[in-house]
């Protein structure tokens, strides 16, 4: 794959720049990915040639913008094997989860009901449900993780079987541990107990092609900026029959059918959930990112990422006092680790001096950090444009930093 990866890297202009005077090694992909030229050009082209609001005008620019926005929705729907009516544009996975929590709870949650979360969830999949729990008088139950960072599936099964359980909301891949949850198996079991399932796909969409119809989740959300698209745009997928039963999340222009002071009726989905001026350029840029992924064999790229993961984990574990959190064999290319006697922030600062960008902190997973018994970890996360040279430079820089710091 080395020649193919070098060719892919040429598509990402930021990878050509220096960081602290040294070639950039970007290993913070779980936080946000870099963008290929085609996405950057799509954004520029929209603002140069087609910029207009949508849903309102009959002039040429408005019609062009409307068509581009419509086509972007269809491109994304086709990639996930669902219908355009089931694709809602949001600002990101966080808004997608808030939308589901608020709208779904109004129709389907009552006092005494229960929501299941897991210990590995991002704050974006915890706080919205805590807000709903207070509003609706429902209970949150939390599934434990095992020592290797995988879910305790026996405990999950027990909670799903409870009559009061109505919702399970979980991540497809942990942003901190890299654990890949067996969502298809989990969804099938949940549905057998009439439990609705929301999947936070922010970390999984960048690493492979997903068939949401086959997955059979009730809702799925992700952020564009993690999948090589622009910031400020994301997608919420929902089954059409469920979306049609839900009230809108926000009110305003273009989510309405008819407005009067005596009452308002609402447009059908997805327009019902897209109040106000939408992020047209973001949708176009995200669709272009999906088109870019379509040009590649996602299975081959995933294999490349796994090779980087296996090499890096093996080399890091040769460092005395280094612990990796999240060791299940079925994991994405994310490595969270600590080194005895070395603070993660100090390590990241020295790595930055070597041109290497990683993330340190609690990764918006404070409950998980508490379970692990740590305040923070260092995290290196790979994308398909990372090379074996990136991995080698990272390992060498960590070894050098450890020799300085302890």
Please, what is the average pLDDT of the chain?
97
Residues linked to residue 180 through DSSP beta bridges, in sequence order: 173
**Which domains does the chain show, CATH number per domain?**
2-30+297-405 (3.90.1150.10), 40-294 (3.40.640.10)
Q: Residue 63's pLDDT is what?
A: 95
List, for residues 28-60, the tens digit of each pLDDT value: 999 999 999 999 999 999 999 999 999 878 899
Q: What are the E-state strand segments in 188-293?
A: 196-200, 219-223, 234-238, 256-260, 263-266
CA distances from 242 to 47, 103, 126, 144, 172 (A): 35, 11, 22, 29, 21
pLDDT above 80 (res 1) = no
364 is catalytic: yes
Q: Which of 38, 171, 364, 365 is catalytic?
A: 364
pLDDT above 90 (res 2) = no
- Residue 315, judged by CB atoms within 10 A of its CB (0-12, 13-18, 19+), counts as middle
Cα gap 57→65, rounded to integer Å: 10
Backbone angles phi, psi at 363, to 5 degrees: 60, 35
Does pTM top 0.95 for this prediction? yes
List, for residues 366-401, the tens digit of each pLDDT value: 999 999 999 999 999 999 999 999 999 999 999 999
């Amino acid at each position: 794959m080395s020649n193919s990866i070098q060719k892919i890297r040429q598509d990402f202009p930021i990878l050509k720049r220096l960081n602290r005077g040294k070639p950039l090694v970007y290993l913070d992909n779980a936080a946000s990915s870099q963008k290929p030229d085609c996405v950057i050009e799509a954004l520029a082209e929209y603002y140069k040639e087609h910029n207009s609001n949508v849903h309102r005008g009959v002039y040429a620019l408005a019609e062009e913008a409307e068509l581009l926005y419509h086509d972007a929705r269809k491109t994304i729907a086709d990639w996930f094997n669902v219908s355009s009516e089931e694709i809602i544009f949001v600002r990101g996975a966080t808004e997608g989860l808030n939308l589901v929590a608020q709208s779904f709870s109004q129709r389907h949650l009552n006092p005494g009901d229960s929501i299941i979360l897991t210990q590995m969830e991002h704050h974006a999949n915890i706080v919205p449900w805590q807000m709903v729990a207070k509003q609706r008088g429902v209970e949150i139950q939390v599934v434990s993780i095992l020592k290797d960072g995988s879910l305790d599936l026996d405990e999950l099964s027990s909670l799903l079987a409870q009559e009061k359980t109505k919702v399970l909301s979980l991540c497809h891949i942990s942003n901190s541990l890299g654990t890949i949850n067996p969502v298809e198996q989990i969804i099938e079991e949940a549905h057998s107990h009439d439990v609705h399932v929301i999947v936070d796909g922010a970390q999984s969409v960048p690493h492979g092609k997903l068939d949401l119809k086959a997955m059979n989740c009730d809702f799925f959300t992700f952020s564009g900026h993690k999948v090589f698209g622009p910031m400020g745009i994301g997608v919420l997928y929902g089954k059409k029959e469920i979306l049609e039963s839900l009230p809108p999340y926000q009110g305003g222009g273009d989510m309405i059918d008819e407005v009067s002071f005596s009452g308002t009726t609402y447009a059908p989905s997805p327009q019902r959930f897209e109040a106000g001026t939408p992020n047209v350029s973001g949708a176009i840029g995200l669709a272009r990112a999906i088109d870019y992924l379509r040009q590649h064999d996602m299975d081959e790229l995933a294999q490349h990422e796994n090779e980087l993961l296996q090499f890096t984990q093996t080399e890091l574990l040769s460092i005395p006092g280094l612990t990796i959190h999240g060791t299940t064999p079925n994991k994405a290319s994310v490595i969270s680790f600590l080194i005895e006697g070395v603070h993660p922030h100090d390590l990241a600062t020295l790595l930055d001096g070597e041109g290497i960008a990683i993330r340190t902190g609690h990764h918006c997973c404070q409950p998980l950090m508490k379970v692990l018994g740590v305040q923070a970890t260092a995290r290196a996360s790979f994308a398909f444009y990372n090379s074996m040279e990136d991995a080698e430079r990272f390992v060498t820089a960590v070894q050098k930093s450890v020799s300085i710091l302890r």
